[in-house]
Chains A and B, each alone.
Chain A
Amino acid sequence: MSEERKISRRKYVAYAGAGVVVVAAAAAGGYYATRKPKVEEIEWGIWPWGVELVNDNARIFNENNPDVRIKVTDIGGAYTTNLYTRYQAGNPPDIHYSTPDVVTFLQFKKWIIDIEDYAPDARKYLNDMYPGVRDFHINPSTGKVHGLCYWLGPYCLAYNKRHIKEAGFDAPPKTYDELAEQALAIKKKGIAEYPIGALWSWGFPAMWYNIMIGNVEPKPGVKYLFDENLNPIFADKGTAFYDAVKWFLDRVFIDKTISPGVREYDESGITTAIGSGTVSFALAFPDYDVGAANSPEMKETGNIKIAMNPGTGYAVFHAATYNVSKACVDRGKSAQQAVWRVMEYVGGKTTNAKPDYEHGTFFVCKRLIDKYGVTSAYKVVNEDPTSIQVMEGMGINTDVLLQQFGRLSSVLWRDPMQTPWWGDWFSSPSSEAGGRVMPKFEALLTAGRAPSEDDILGFLKDIANDWMVSKKEAGM
């Protein structure tokens, strides 16, 4: 009896074991059969502008790409600070907007990668860009494409067509001397007290470069502020910067066509000033703000136009790119492929939100221009008939704008080779903070008396010294 029981127990255990194996195998099979494919999540860091459109773009991508999911994160108004904090904390977004100074800093810290290293196709997009903006998308240290275009447009000379006509001129100024002449005539006729304004805050460096390259054509080998070893070359009489500073201060103190209060103009301030007819010209004016200056509630609606940058006609540009964090590509092949797909969607060509360089369209870039009149580095986007129609509807004279696109120079971002301290020195294009140069120039501007040549030289030598101190502090 006990023998039988013994055998029976062994058999029982064997049967039970086999049962468990069968059930486990069935469960595993079922699990693998019904398991969803792995979804790669890509965090897209944005600043708080056009958020609704961004979310809609992300939605369209997510609907068409089940294996990749875009998660949009608003980095906030203090974008640069918040972004750097996330990088420093080791938790950066995967892909994000970058202004040129941000790119330089992140490249310096090796926190972002050159997208060309992971997606050789990125280089093809250079062919779609205006010639003057191509090298801006290339990392000057590695020679590789670092990211694709989010937006790009010239810092223009905007002018009031009615004002110059009433002052007896048929066309906008062709040189900076003509600009001074027209402004003086406008002042004398009592049309505007201080006819020349400028985007100060983040347009400050661009304004100087536009004056400099208007007077001295940007050609290979021409340097404006620094030599190849990053040493200042401007602190002398007769340099392009000296002449630009002198031209500006003469308008403030001799002609009195520029108010010392020009330093108070931020982007909305100068847009309102030219739109209301308080100023007749706006230096370093972002192209897309011409639409806002012509909006129906403005007094001068329809009168604000873009002129080619006086002199050589070359102008510098404002820009933002999409860049990818190193932390993202370090996650592996799947993340690298996913983030390139996202970048190609937001800054490249796709069909149904899927990569298609040959036959696709710049879907997201086109939506930006169609909704906000925000221009792009890509020729085909700006010159599309519907884009032109949209911009014309905003009061932008696209014939001159597109001509200006053909004469863009990346010298603003490449003459100083964009060191990490460049923005701190000259003022940052992504911040309202003034850097070192701006307050020192303001000391001349608000001194209440015309500065002598020695004062100007003293200012230039002082800021050259600041540059050298920053260079030393940066260990370069």
Chain B
Amino acid sequence: MDPKIKTLLMCLIPALTPLFLFGFYPLGYAFYLSFTFYNLKSAIPPHFTGLGNFIGLISDSVFKISVTSNIIFALITIPLITLVSLGEALLLSKDFRGVKFMQVLALIPWGIPLVVSGSIYRFIFDLNFGLFNHIMVKLGLIDVYQSWLSMKWPALLIVALAYLWVQTPLPTLLFLAGIQSIPPELYEAALIDGAKPLARFKIVTFNWLKPIFFIVLVYASLMALWVFDPIYVITSGGPANFTKLLTYYTYEKMFYFLNFGQAGAATIIIFSVTVILIYLYFRALRLGRLRLKV
């Protein structure tokens, strides 16, 4: 072996060891499990089952609800994260008194663990003592306290709110960096050409931020696929499985039903979607680099 490559490999060992131990090995094992009948609560011993686990998942009504809910969740949160963070970034890019303080304020939720955010939102929407019910009654919008977390759509929206609160700051930061990197000459040229504010946004800002849009979209998609903590804390997947998104479904299969085979199959499905999204993410990064070269 080329001594240079040998040295390179030696240097990579410390970095690659944990990656193999805690990344590739569990993934490989999940792959193995996904083709194995492995149910700890069954008298049937583990055995190769081909696509049996995947077929089992597809025929499971809860899995169907889970996939549908996850798509709905993504459709709600991805545009919201993108638009809210863009709006925030546009606001924070302006030069006005207190903008620095607002920039710090906008980033604070990023430091809040999703579990904490979830607990706060669970309390806000509590059936008997929730602040939201109190305000709604005071405003005369409802007569009696409502069980928001026992209604399918409100429950999903509350999970989305708790999630958005924590997930918006990073895209805001990305957009803000993008906006601040736009050369002022571009705006000046657009002004000379008589472009109005909306046209300036469309022609200069939007075009310049296109790669960042793409990155944010992929990031928000990944996060929507991986969301777990707020569901665990706020709804435990209810009511009627409506907020049981894919990761929570997988968690239940694995640690509650002890059906390792089907949990492995669900993991492989999540992993496959993740790979596609990561591929898109890298393409977005490449686009971004090309833009910077321009």
Residues of A within 8 A of B (CB): 78, 81, 84, 88, 105, 108-109, 193, 259-261, 263-265, 269, 272-273, 276, 278, 420-421, 424, 428, 431-434, 438-440, 442-443, 445-446, 473-476
Docked pose: A440 CA to B242 CA in angstroms: 11
Give A259 to B236 CA distance when docked, in angstroms: 19
Q: Does B58 contact A (CB under 8 A)?
A: no
Please determine whether B41 and A439 come into contact, CB atoms closer than 8 angstroms. Answer: no
Residue among A109, A193, A431, A446 with the most chain B CB within 10 A? A446
Q: Do the beta carbons of B42 and A261 come within 8 Å of each other?
A: no
Among A84, A433, A446, contact of B40 (Cβ-Cβ < 8 Å): A84
* Closest 8 pairs (CB-CB, A-B): A261-B147, A475-B43, A443-B240, A475-B44, A420-B41, A261-B127, A442-B240, A439-B241
Closest to B125 in A: A264
CA distance A108 to B43 in the complex (A): 8
A88: which B residues are within 8 A, CB to CB?
40
Interface string of B240-259 (1 = CB under 8 A from A): 11001000000010011111
Task: Tell me whether A439 and B239 are in contact (CB under 8 A).
Answer: yes
Contact A193 B145 (CB under 8 A): yes
CB distance from A46 to the nearest CB of B (A): 20
Q: Max chain A CB contacts within 10 Å: which of B44, B62, B128, B145?
A: B128
- Determine if B99 is an interface residue (Cβ-Cβ < 8 Å): no
Q: How many A-B residue pairs have CB under 8 A?
A: 90
How many chain B residues have a CB neighbour from A under 8 Å?
32
Interface contacts beyond A263-B150, A433-B252, A433-B256: sample of 7 additional A-B pairs, CB < 8 Å, sorted by A? A109-B40, A193-B145, A261-B146, A264-B149, A269-B127, A439-B240, A445-B239
Contact A474 B256 (CB under 8 A): no
Give the CA-CA distance A445 to B146 in the complex, in Å.
14
* Chain B residues near A473 (CB-CB < 8 A): 39, 42, 44, 259
Indicate which residue in B126, B238, B255 contacts A434 across the interface (CB closer than 8 Å). B238
Chain B residues whose C-beta falls within 8 Å of the C-beta of A265 in the assembled complex: 127
Q: How far is the CB of A256 from chain B (nearest CB, A)?
A: 10
**A264 adjacent to B41 (CB under 8 Å):** no
Residues in B whose Cβ lies below 8 Å from that of A433: 236, 252, 256
Q: Indicate whether A446 sits within 8 Å of B150 (C-beta atoms), given known contacts A432-B236, A439-B241.
A: yes
**Which of A84, A421, A442 sits near B239, CB closer than 8 Å?**
A442
B237: contacting residue among A193, A264, A269, A434, CB under 8 A: A434
Let me know if B240 and A440 touch, CB within 8 A: yes
Complex CA–CA separation, A445 to B152 (angstroms): 11
